[in-house]
Structure 1
Amino acid sequence: MSDVDSLIQTIADQRIRICHLRFTDTAGHVRQISIETGVLNRSLFTDGFMIDGSAVPGWHAPTEPDPVLRPDAASSFVDPFAAQPTKVVFCSAVEAGTSHYYDACPRGTLERTLQHVQRGLGADQVSIGMELGFSLFDDVQFDQEAYRVGHRLTAMEAPAASGQAYQGGNPGHRPAARRAAFVIPPPDHFSDLRSEIATILAGCGIPGVTHGHGRGACQHVLILPPAPALVAADRLQIARYVVQNVAAGYGKSATFVPKPSRDEHGVDLVMSVAAYAAGRALFHGSAYADLSPLCLSFMAGILAHAPMLAAFTNPSTNSYRRLRPGEEVPTVLAYAANNRTAAVRIPLTSRPEQKRLELRFPDPLACPYLSISAMLLAGLHGVARKLEPDDPLDRNLYDLPAEEHALRHLPRSLDQALDDLDRGREVLTAGDCFCGTLIDTYLALKRAEADEIAAIPHPAELRLYWSN
């Protein structure tokens, strides 16, 4: 039975009333339109469902043909938070009247990229693993007016401010700042909340999720098991949806902002990548750390183009408050076996099929479709040109001596990363994976975000300069 037939049968058997057609816009935001399943038939999966493209920032103008959402039946899951029995199906956008992917659709970009990269690597599968960080707060308040700008985050796990009473109960029952990893209850107040997230994710078709408390107060981690790249990207969107809904059910506010607190290192999105051909691990070999020459060239391509990748993997102005030299965050563009301070790490494993590369600099605001696509194309560029990485740096890169500060680093700002993307776009347009229109649209959307933030006076800025 095909995926479409199976989905239609499941909808009938389970008396599903509503189907959410969910897609991702160019900036990485998840959107949806809902239909009653009484009008759902096989033609929807071939002809698609037309939407108003002018309502999506960066998509079609009002004078252009509307894009069509083409559902992927294999991606469906039951929405655990809907009041009515509801299925969610991820969609890619195509041009009306054709089978061509819509240029501005991130999911379609990843589908194109996978076809191109797998041919280039001689692979039949690219596998991606995700380690998703997030923060939990009791309450968040924003204040942005002409003469008043600020925010306030409150959380039972947050360290008390100087002179302020701790509101979370016994002060011994909160994690110490920067020493919170792997704590158990009662300092870990949210083990049950995370377990509920993991249970719901299993019901959404994502079994085997591992979870724990993060390194800092209010920080948490979900580890999603490796999956084929398109499935992994869909799963990250599901995980973020589940995290925010479960948190809301507990009366909490979850955020994927990388660095919401000045005093914590921030949260990350660790991405691992591996490639296979007929079950054979293409990244396993006899070179450094048991890597193959293909893998070394793939890694060299990622490191060479990491400043450009940062525009997708670290897509917010807040991302670069986390990526600051001197913080315990991988900013040096180097690699090493088992070294968590390097931008690319090779985890130790005795099993060839688990040989993989681990990117440690992305953050949870990354659009998974564009980030994975860009990372794979950068790696393929390294393979095509037989690039070789520099020597590994098997030491702590968080504390470099002054003479080594000339090592290549990730960009220091979103503007710099966007400039690198604009200069390096030919790597992404190879094989017609990324189209120039998508890159131009993405650059325009992200530059507008950066300009908006740059125009707002910062409270610390006023404090520093008010009396000068």
Structure 2
Amino acid sequence: MAQITLEQVGQVEQIQSTIKEKNVELLHLQFVDIEGILKNITITADQLDDAVEGKIMLDGSSIKGFSPINKSDCYLLPDLNTFAVMPWTETDGYAEARFLCSVTNTDGTLFEGDTRNVLKKTVARAAEKGYTISVGPELEFFLFKTDEKGYPTTELGDLGGYFEPSPKDLGEKVRVEIFKTLKAMGFTIEALHHEVAEGQHEISFKYADALGAADLAITYKWVVKTIAAQFGLHASFMPKPVFGINGSGMHVNMSFFKDGENLFFDESDELQLSNEAYSFIAGLLENMKGFVAITNPLVNSYKRLVPGYEAPCYLAWSASNRSALIRIPAARGMGTRVELRCPDPSSNPYLTFAVIASAGLDGVEKGLQAPAPINEDIFDMTDARREELGIDSLPAGLEAAVAELEAGEIGLKTLGEHVFNEYVAAKKAEWDDYRTTVHAWELKNYQYKF
């Protein structure tokens, strides 16, 4: 079982104080499956000590991508930094709280099938070089109306447009309530607004270390869905839920720090970018096709990654051009960062941040050279012009993306054998199910005609 450090003793005492002050009776021990879907086991607050020591058991054979039935016993190890009271449960004399957990084996070692542990390994790999990884994700979502049973319909929650306020933006009151909830749970919120598409929204929060940012992303999705449901709405992080309008992305801003300094900043360079920043960009471009099945994991993901809807699908970078897959936001100094624009919010943030950091780290370790930036609008280019500039494109569908994942090195290197094999098998099964299903489009176009 887990050994408690002196620092953790202080944390536990603070948690016990909050539990007493808020009258917390139930603790939800949360973790994610291989797809990043949140799960939890609920215990009483009286079992806090057992939880902190990693004594709460989990049947891993029941979780997608975890353990076979003959090796099913796992344990949950709460991350004390993720303790938070759930504001919507608070009433007079009662409340509930949660921890995010890593999964361990029966001997206390980290379980290799837990995707949170995959990210931990990448963070440790960077730390061996003296680097810390900073990540700021931007997750967009849609709000849909629900039916009398609470199930989502295809009717959007509002008809507002980019940055529009109420009364057109009927989602404003929902965003404000989400903001209040996230703030109460420790988030630092930077902005909230209506996005480009009807019914689409974004609430941006402050960056954190890679593991912390993934924890925030998982928590954010959970809170958004929970609060939306209270308004009779369904929040969807599906990448392309509505044909003909913009889909939802999860732009990932990332930088490396060393000795407290941003490793990507160099004041003497024309773009004020360091050699490490250029090599990081080169690592992303070299490995991008090999990890897009992680950052864009659904059949539906590739209906967003088409020209014309602000979702970049061409392998290029620029200091400002938003049609490029990789962009360098204007901030410099400590705020210098690389923004990868193709990931979507259906992806597992632990795996997404791990493969992005790993690919960039490969570029830095190998001293790869980034190609020249592309400042023209890539969407308006002819195929011949893109070929002339050597601009490749992302795989056009999940099947091709999974094939690239299998053929490349970055996936297995980052995910480890267990998660890699389970993930590939799950995505192949997903594609096969989609491929063999008769869809409404086929019936509409073929049934009567033929």
Distance in 1 (alpha carbons) for counterparts of 2:339 and 2:172: 26
Shift of 1:297: 0.5
Query: Aligned residue for 2:154?
Result: 153
Q: Is the Cα–Cα contact under 8 Å of residues 289 and 346 in structure 1 kept in the other structure?
A: no
Q: 1:322-401 residue pairs with structure 2 within 5 A? A: 322-349=304-331, 351-401=332-382
Does 1:88 find its partner at 2:70? no
Q: 2:70 aligns with which of 63, 77, 83?
A: 63
Deviations 1:178-204 (A, max 9, x none): xx2111222111112111111110001
Q: Quick one: distance in 2 between partners of 1:367 and 1:378? A: 17
Q: Which moved more, 1:411-420 or 1:401-410?
A: 401-410
Within 5 Å, give how 1:247-396 maps onto structure 2.
247-285=228-266, 286-349=268-331, 351-396=332-377
Task: Report the 3-state secondary structure (helix = DSSP H, G, I; strand = E; otherwise coil) of the residue aligned with 2:392.
Answer: coil
SS in 2 for 1:38: helix
Among 82, 92, 107, the residue aligned to 1:97? 107
Say if 1:209 and 1:223, in contact at 8 Å, map to a contact too.
Answer: yes
**2:410 corresponds to 1:427:** yes
Residue identity in the other structure for 1:427: I
> Does the residue aligned with 1:318 lie in a helix, a strand or coil?
helix
Aligned partners of 1:377 and 1:428 also within 8 Å:
no
Structure 1 segment 226-265 matched on structure 2, within 5 A: 226-265=207-246
Q: Which amino acid is 1:93 matched to?
A: V
1:118 and 2:119 equivalent?
no
Deviation of the 1:370 alpha carbon: 0.4
Partner of 1:410: 394
Deviations 1:135-186 (A, max 9, x none): 01113799xxxxxxxx9511353xxxxxxxxxxxxxxxx43xxxx2111222
Whole-Å separation in 2 of the counterparts to 1:438 and 1:328: 31
Look up the SS of the partner of 2:350 in the other structure.
Answer: helix
The 5 A counterparts of 1:111-260 are 111-120=120-129, 122-123=130-131, 125-139=132-146, 153-155=154-156, 157=158, 174-175=159-160, 180-260=161-241
Name the CA shift for 1:457/1:22 in 2 (closer, same or farther; >3 Å).
Answer: same
- Read off the aligned partner of 2:295 and give its amino acid letter: T
- How well do the aligned residues superpose, as a CA RMSD in angstroms? 1.9
Deviation digits for residues 333-373 of structure 1 (CA, Å, limit 9, x no counterpart): 11101211111100112x40000011111111011000000
Please say if 1:450 is aligned against 2:431.
yes
Compute the displacement of 1:272 (Å). 0.3
| Alpha-carbon distance in 2 for matches of 1:92, 1:156 | 36
Provide the rounded CA distance (Å) in 2 between the counterparts of 1:452 and 1:301: 33
Distance 1:288 1:329, change over 3 A: farther
1:220-274, CA deviations, whole angstroms, 9 ceiling, x for partnerless residues?
A: 1111211111111111111111111111111111101111111102111111001
**TM-score w.r.t. length of structure 1:** 0.88
The match for 1:10 is 18
Q: Give the number of aligned pairs.
A: 432
SS at match of 2:306: coil
Cα separation, 1, equivalents of 2:148 and 2:221: 21
Amino acid of the structure 2 residue aligned with 1:251:
G
| Sequence identity percentage | 31
Give the secondary-structure state (helix, strand or coil) at the position aligned to 1:7: helix
- Name 1:77's counterpart in structure 2: 84
What's the TM-score, normalizing by structure 2? Answer: 0.92
Q: Aligned partners of 1:376, 1:412: CA distance in 2, in Å?
A: 24
Q: How big is each residue's C-alpha offset from its partner over 1:376-420, in whole Å with a ceiling of 9 and x where there is no partner?
A: 111111112111111100121222213134421111111111111
| SS of 1:186 mapped into structure 2 | coil
More deviation in 25-34 or 319-328? 319-328
Please say if residues 145 and 153 of structure 2, whose CA atoms lie closer than 8 Å, have aligned partners that are also in contact: no
The one-letter code of the counterpart of 1:239 is Y
More helix by share: 2
* C-alpha distance in 2 between matches for 1:73 and 1:227: 16
- 3-state SS of the aligned residue for 1:311? helix
Shift of 1:30: 0.7
Q: Supply the distance in 2 between the matched residues of 1:413 and 1:397 (Cα, whole angstroms).
A: 20
Give unpaired runs (5+ residues) of structure 1: 143-150, 158-173
Could you tell me how far 1:326 is from its partner in structure 2?
4.3
Contact 1:140–1:153 (8 Å) recurs in 2? no
CA gap of 1:389–1:97, structure 2 versus 1, over 3 A, is same
Query: Is 1:27 matched with 2:35?
Result: yes
